Each structure stands twice: as structure tokens, then as C-alpha cells.
Amino acid sequence: MKCIRIGYYNVTFDLIVKAENDIFVIEYLTKQIDEGKIFRMQDISRWCDSHNIDFKTSFSYRKEIPLKANLWNLYSYLRFSLTNNR
């Protein structure tokens, strides 16, 4: 089993590749993110669920951005985690 990592602000999505076809599907997801069509954690989560892609998330503090922004991103991540049982 292989993982593909996608960064979203302070949050990392580790997408689990179960089959060779999953790689092509995930490449499409990254293209959608790069083009700004998918732009929220909830969007990424729903997209993965609808394409049967398992994922794990993690939060990391980033020193290069202000404390207030880190705290806001942490709050958003925790709210996302609680509402999605992740």
C-alpha cells in the first residue's frame, strides 16, 4: 500500500492508494486543488469519500506564518476533525 501526501495550509492529507487506478484519480484531485476548484478540507474529504479513497489527516505548526494564523488553522482543523470523525 502506498500513500500520496497533499498539503492544505497546516493540514496534511495522506491519501491511501489501494489500486493502480487510485493514482490517476488522485492526480485528478491534485489538479482540481491546483486550479482552485476544490479549496476546503471538507471538499477534499467529500471528494475522497465519493471516490473511495481512504485518507488520514494531521496538523503541523508552521513557524513561517503568524501565531494567529496557526491558531485559526488549528481551530479549523479541529472543527473539521470533530465533524468528520477523523
List the domain boundaries for the chain.
Answer: 2-84
Rounded distance, CA 18 to CA 6, Å? 16
**pLDDT band of 86, cuts 50, 70, 90:** low
Location of C-alpha cell 476546503? 40
Read off the pTM. Answer: 0.85
pLDDT value at position 73?
A: 95
